[in-house]
């Protein structure tokens, strides 16, 4: 029996789960890791990929919050284009949000998303189901059916469940079904028709404000409910120092809470709104410098578990309107890695090991999916980083259909060399010398 | 760089002869935030000269002859639009009025397409009023016409602040150290934001007064004294500027009732006794009599409200003239 095999030779491997941080070879056979270690001896004739100088191999990154927008919003993004963007962004799996049209609150829609993902043959999709029917916040969705259909977690999408009693039951029921609840926390009565962080900048620009307290209050509420029910809760796109404190406090009391932050909340503040560029309009809104500093601290001390893009694509026309009327969202899949390398790794805030925890190990654990490890038997999902690659963000070349990014034109140090899913290269960056080698990594090869 | 106003403007006997290049640094006036104090003073000086045109039997000078000026008003406005229109006509410009009901916005055309279509017809200047902050910026980015912001949501209303400044200067002769109290719905007011910026640039001592619910977030970062006590705001004031309270503010839980607002914040003759004897009372209009201002004050000896309106035409003539480059057609 001959298994398709390929040897990734001479790369720097970071695999914290297995205690590896150094030069190592990886043998992939039939879509799985079968050997990992320095100077591997393999059967003669095994195809060898010489990992380009300077590249770092990590367990495949998992983006915990992506709006694939299909079904219903295919003008913004489809599963296929979203996954192409994910592959280019260095991700080997994404968790897709349920706020499609129709909402992913039944097996049929879950099945559709999985079928589209299978057709795309790119990056894995872990569907996140809706907690309430139609995401209306009124009645439980059939979480058991969603689980059976392939959902790995459930979420309220982009609106909180306002009714605390319902939220309690959501937590209990989802937990029974073995799924975490991923929570967008916002008291909409406080944010109302706000479009920017409620503070000096919004006041000066005449923009209606969304107070930090609106996020803090619901994070505090939901952390408390998680403690009460013992049900796992994951706070999406946490943006304020108050919300971070609430998570820290919950963790200190051993509540099963986790949280994620986005790259834009780590690098941008509300003073960017001067000029009314709708590419900066996002929910939660860009906050203040004190919040950014608190989040950096949270990344370092372990309070924050994951970094996620919250990729929210919009059609160009939709963002080309007055600030008040523009939809919220940043199409972030293709900039996560470069922003993290340039703003977190190179300045020395975090190590690459910690980054792998934030982008692979913890997402896999929270979603309850296989990933985050390159140990023997693991699926061959590998993110190959080029940590010193000079990258200039060019929204016009995004593989996403969407162009709504505040990072267009940014010159960053660090990028993606290749993305490998199940032993198949789904993306190889032609700007990286030698990355073309990775294009030989396909599961069809003899 | 801005320059002294052309002295030939002051010649009452002839047309305005515009030999020098007099103007502002940018093609647009989107906000006081973009103006230097020198530019503000240039506008005020030019407006003084323009006032004279309004006293002639033939209230016209050829300064903007052959120029096309479009008044693009997405929000209703009688006073501001008329003021701009009179200003434009006195400068001999060809004017067009496009108001919300007439625009294809009702057919779903976006602001961007409306402006692009308009831009294709090559107007020289566009005056924009819109309910969204930053709308003027959108228009200015999309076409090469000069854009004057006639009010963008809660953000700015620069020509209002300029006409207010002209009125203050006419009565007080200076700004430096002048105590100016602004009282009313500060939170929702573009007039407050523009006036605050302008008065601070010219060195006035501004006091902002409102119920706590109608203050701006981060008020202390604006570098302005603020108080919820109207007596404190009135005490020793040289200028008192009153802002409208809209009925909707009760629905948004900002004030319990107009009655209570008048009781606690309304300007009455009695409240004025703490102000300086030569205090002037201002209001951008329209007035809500018996809410933010008692009729006796609005119509009383301290009120300069109607002068503000008159100054509005002169200031807008000045801005149009300076943005159009001051060249004769």
Q: In degrees to the nearest 10, what's the CA dihedral of B210, B215, B221, B225?
A: 10
- Give the closest-approach CA distance of A77 to chain B in angstroms: 22
Summarize pLDDT for A259-305 with one digit per residue, the tens. Answer: 999 999 999 999 999 999 999 999 999 999 999 999 999 999 999 99
B112 CB neighbours in chain A (<8 A) are: 320-321
Question: What stretches of A156-315 adopt beta strand conformation (E)?
Answer: 180-183, 196-197, 209-210, 233-235, 257-261, 306-307
8 A C-beta contact, residue A373 and residue A383: no
Closest chain B residue by Cα to residue A197: B217
Which residues of chain A have a CB within 8 Å of the CB of B221?
A: 200
Six token digits for residue A189 = 């009565």
Count helices and strands in chain B by DSSP H and E runs: 11, 9
| Domain count for chain A | 2
Catalytic residue (choose from A310, A408, A433, A444): A310
All residues at 6 or more sequence positions from B71 whose CB lies less than 8 Å from its CB, including other chains: B81, B84, B85, B88, B95, B96, B97, B98, B127, B150
- Residue predicted with more confidence, B23 or A330: A330
For A250-264, what is the mean pLDDT?
98
What residue has token string 């300007």? B267
Residue A395 maps to a domain: no
In a domain, A401, yes or no: no
Interatomic CA distance for residues B48 and A126, integer angstroms: 69
Whether residue A445 is predicted with pLDDT greater than 80 in this model: the reply is: no
C-alpha distance across the termini of chain A, in Å: 12
Give CA separation, B5 vs A170, A416, B8, B21, B24, in Å.
Answer: 70, 59, 9, 10, 11
The whole domain housing A434 covers: 5-57+378-388+408-444
CA distance B98 to B95: 10
| Nearest-by-CA chain A residue for B134 | A276
Mean pLDDT across B127-141: 95
Residue A349 lies in a domain: yes
Pair (A26, A94) in one structural domain: no
Same domain, A351 and A432: no
Does the residue A228 lie in any domain? yes
pLDDT at B133: 97
Across the beta sheet with A124-130, the strand order is: A61-66, A91-96, A124-130, A153-155, A180-183, A233-235, A257-261, A306-307
Is there a domain that residue A394 lies in?
no
Q: Using the 8-state DSSP alphabet, how is residue A344 labeled? A: I
Q: Is A39 exposed, middle or buried (0-12, 13-18, 19+ CB in 10 A)?
A: exposed
* Cβ-based neighbour number of residue B169 at 10 Å: 19
Using alpha carbons, select from B325, B294, B301, B287 the residue that is nearest to residue B79: B287
Contact B218 A203 (CB under 8 A): yes
- The CA distance from A68 to B42, in Å, is 54
Per-residue pLDDT at A349 exceeds 90? yes
Indicate if A313 and A434 belong to the same structural domain: no
Chain A residue with CA closest to B139: the answer is A322
CATH of the domain at A421: 2.30.40.10
Q: Is A310 a catalytic residue?
A: yes
Residue B13: pLDDT band with limits 50, 70, 90:
very low
**pLDDT for the residue B100:** 74
Q: Which residues of A142-174 are buried (b: 16+ CB within 10 A; e: fewer)?
A: bbebbbebebbbbbbbbebbeeeebbbbbbbbb
% of chain A with per-residue pLDDT over 90? 94
- The DSSP symbol for B29 reads B
Interface of A with B (CB under 8 A): 198-209, 275-276, 317, 320-325
Top pLDDT among B16 and A364 is at: A364
Q: Do B217 and A324 touch (CB under 8 A)?
A: no
Residue pointed to by tokens 């002769």: B173
CB-nearest partner of A322 from B111, B154, B217 = B111
Q: What residue of B is the nearest CA neighbor of A209?
A: B217
* Rounded Cα–Cα distance for residues B278 and A435 (Å): 79
Best of A195, A197, A205, A207 to disrupt the B interface (most B CBs within 10 Å) is A205
Residues A159 and A94 in one domain: yes
User: Which member of B112, B137, B218 has the closest CB to residue A275?
Assistant: B137
| Residues A128-176: tens digit of each pLDDT | 999 999 999 999 999 999 999 999 999 999 999 999 999 999 999 999 9
Of A204, A209, A325, the CB nearest to B132: A325
Q: Are residues A96 and A114 in the same domain?
A: yes
Q: Helix and strand tally (H, E) in chain A?
A: 14, 18
CA angle A30, A33, A37 (to 5 degrees): 140
Closest CA to B155 of B193, B120, B183, B122: B193
All residues of chain B having their beta carbon less than 8 Å from the beta carbon of residue A193 are: none
* Å between B220 CA and nearest CA of chain A: 9
- Chain B residues 7-46 with a CB less than 8 Å from chain A: none
Instruction: Find the CATH number of the domain harbouring A346.
Output: 3.20.20.140
What pLDDT, on a 0 to 100 scale, did the predictor assign at position B320? 97
Its sign, for the CA torsion A370, A376, A380, A385, is positive
- B131, A324: Cβ pair inside 8 Å? yes
- How far is B143 from B121, CA to CA, in rounded Å? 10
Distance CA A203, CA B217 (A): 6
Report pLDDT for B111: 87
Same domain, yes or no: A271 and A311 = yes
pLDDT, residue B106, reads: 65
Could you give phi then psi for residue A18, rounded to 5 degrees? Answer: -105, 15
Q: Where are the beta strands (DSSP E) in chain B?
A: 68-73, 94-99, 125-130, 146-152, 179-183, 205-209, 225-227, 239-242, 280-282
The alpha carbon of residue B111 is apart from the nearest alpha carbon of chain A, in Å, by 7
Same domain, A33 and A69: no
Question: Contact A322/B193, CB-based, under 8 Å?
Answer: no
The answer to the question of residue A312 being in a domain is yes
- DSSP structure class, residue A90: T
pLDDT at res. A442: 65
pTM of the model: 0.92
Tell the residue number behind the tokens 């601070």, with chain if given. B200
Residue A296 and residue A279 share a domain: yes
User: Looking at the domain assignment, is residue A399 inside a domain?
Assistant: no
User: Are residues A180 and A49 both part of a single domain?
Assistant: no
Sorting pLDDT into bands at 50, 70 and 90, what band is A60? Answer: very high
* Residue A443: per-residue pLDDT: 52
CA distance B304 to chain A (A): 27
| B156 close to A (CB below 8 A) | yes
Q: Does A67 map to a domain?
A: yes
What is the predicted pLDDT for the residue at B5? 43
> Whole-angstrom Cα distance, residue B100 to residue B117?
16
**Cβ–Cβ of B222/A200 closer than 8 Å?**
yes
Residue B11: CB atoms within 10 A of its CB come to 13
Name which of B132, B137, B156 is nearest A324 (Cβ-Cβ). Answer: B132
Judge whether B325 is closer than 8 Å to chain A, CB to CB: no
- Does A105 share its domain with A30? no
User: How many A×B Cβ pairs under 8 Å?
Assistant: 64
Mean pLDDT over B261-271 rounds to 97
| C-alpha to C-alpha distance for B217 and B68, rounded to whole angstroms | 40
User: Which of B112, B190, B222 is closest, CB to CB, to A206?
Assistant: B190
Q: In this structure, are A162 and A15 located in the same domain?
A: no
CB contact under 8 A, A323 and B133: yes
Report how far residue B276's alpha carbon sits from residue B60's, in angstroms, rounded to the nearest whole number.
39
- In this predicted structure, the answer to whether residue B9 has a pLDDT above a threshold of 70 is no
Q: At what angle do helices A79-88 and A107-120 cross, to 10 degrees?
A: 50
Tell me what pLDDT residue B20 has.
43
Rounded CA gap, A79 and A114, in Å?
Answer: 9
Residues A269 and A314 in one domain: yes
């Amino acid at each position: 029996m001959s298994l398709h095999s390929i040897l990734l030779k001479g790369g720097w491997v970071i695999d914290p789960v297995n205690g590896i941080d150094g030069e190592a070879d990886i043998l992939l056979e039939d879509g799985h890791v079968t050997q990992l270690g320095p100077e591997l001896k393999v059967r003669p004739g095994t195809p060898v990929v010489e990992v380009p100088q300077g590249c770092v191999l990590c367990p495949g990154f998992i983006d915990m919050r992506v709006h694939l927008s299909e079904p219903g919003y295919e003008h913004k993004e489809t599963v296929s284009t979203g996954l192409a963007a994910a592959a280019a962004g260095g991700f080997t799996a994404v968790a897709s949000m349920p706020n499609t049209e129709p909402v992913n609150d039944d097996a049929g829609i879950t099945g559709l998303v999985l079928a589209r993902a299978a057709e795309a043959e790119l990056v894995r999709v872990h569907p996140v189901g809706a907690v309430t029917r139609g995401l209306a916040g009124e009645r439980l969705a059939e979480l058991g059916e969603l689980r059976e259909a392939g959902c790995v977690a459930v979420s309220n999408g982009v609106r909180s469940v306002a009714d605390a009693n319902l939220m309690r039951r959501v937590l209990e029921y989802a937990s029974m079904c073995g799924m975490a609840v991923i929570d967008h926390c916002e008291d909409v009565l406080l944010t109302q028709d706000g479009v920017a962080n409620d503070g000096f900048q919004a006041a000066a620009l005449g923009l209606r404000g969304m107070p930090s307290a609106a996020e803090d209050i619901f994070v505090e509420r939901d952390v408390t409910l998680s403690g009460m029910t013992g049900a796992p809760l994951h706070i999406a796109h946490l943006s304020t120092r108050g919300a971070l404190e609430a998570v820290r406090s919950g963790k200190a009391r051993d509540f099963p809470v986790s949280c994620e932050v986005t790259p834009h909340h780590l690098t941008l503040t509300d003073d960017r709104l001067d000029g009314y560029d709708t590419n900066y309009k996002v929910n939660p809104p860009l906050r203040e410098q004190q919040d950014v500093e608190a989040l950096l601290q949270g990344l370092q001390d372990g309070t924050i578990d994951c970094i996620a893009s919250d990729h929210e694509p919009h059609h160009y026309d939709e963002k080309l309107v007055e600030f008040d009327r523009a939809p919220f969202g940043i199409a972030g899949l293709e900039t996560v890695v470069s922003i993290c390398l340039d703003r977190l790794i190179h300045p020395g805030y975090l190590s690459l090991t910690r980054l792998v925890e934030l982008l692979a190990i913890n997402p896999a654990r929270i979603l309850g999916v296989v990933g985050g490890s390159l140990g023997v038997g693991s699926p061959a999902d590998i993110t190959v980083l080029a940590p010193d690659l000079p990258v200039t963000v060019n929204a016009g070349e995004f593989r996403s259909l969407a162009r709504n990014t505040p990072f267009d034109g940014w010159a960053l140090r660090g990028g993606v060399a290749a993305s490998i899913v199940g032993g198949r290269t789904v993306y190889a960056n032609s700007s990286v010398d030698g990355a073309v080698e990775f294009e030989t990594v396909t599961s069809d090869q003899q | 760089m801005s320059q002294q106003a052309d002295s030939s403007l002051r010649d009452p006997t002839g047309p305005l002869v515009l030999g020098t290049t007099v103007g502002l640094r940018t093609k647009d006036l989107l906000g006081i935030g973009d103006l230097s104090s020198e530019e503000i003073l240039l506008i005020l000086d030019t407006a003084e000269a323009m006032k004279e045109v309004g006293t002639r039997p033939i209230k016209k000078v050829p300064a903007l002859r052959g120029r096309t000026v479009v008044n693009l008003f997405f929000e209703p406005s009688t006073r501001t639009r008329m003021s701009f229109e009179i200003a434009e006509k006195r400068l001999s410009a060809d004017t067009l009025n496009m108001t919300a009901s007439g625009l294809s916005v009702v057919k779903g055309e976006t602001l961007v397409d409306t402006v692009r279509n308009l831009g294709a017809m090559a107007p020289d200047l566009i005056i924009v009023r819109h309910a969204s902050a930053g709308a003027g910026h959108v228009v200015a980015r999309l076409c090469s016409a000069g854009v004057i912001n006639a009010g963008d949501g809660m953000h700015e209303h620069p020509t209002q602040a300029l006409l207010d400044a002209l009125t203050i200067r006419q009565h007080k002769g200076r700004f430096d150290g002048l105590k100016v109290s602004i009282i009313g719905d500060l939170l929702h007011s573009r007039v407050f934001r523009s006036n605050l910026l302008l008065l601070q640039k010219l060195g006035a001592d501004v006091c902002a007064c409102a119920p706590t619910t109608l203050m701006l977030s981060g008020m202390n970062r604006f570098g302005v004294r603020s108080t919820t006590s109207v007596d404190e705001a009135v005490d020793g004031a040289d200028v008192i500027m009153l802002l409208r309270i809209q009925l909707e503010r009760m629905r948004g839980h900002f004030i319990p009732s107009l009655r209570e607002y008048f009781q606690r914040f309304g300007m009455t003759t009695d409240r004025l006794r703490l102000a300086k004897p030569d205090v002037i009372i201002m209001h951008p209009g329209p007035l809500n009599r018996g809410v933010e201002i008692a009729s006796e004050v609005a119509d009383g000896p301290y009120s300069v409200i109607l002068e503000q309106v008159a100054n509005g035409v002169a200031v807008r003539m000045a801005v149009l003239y300076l943005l159009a480059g001051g060249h004769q057609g």
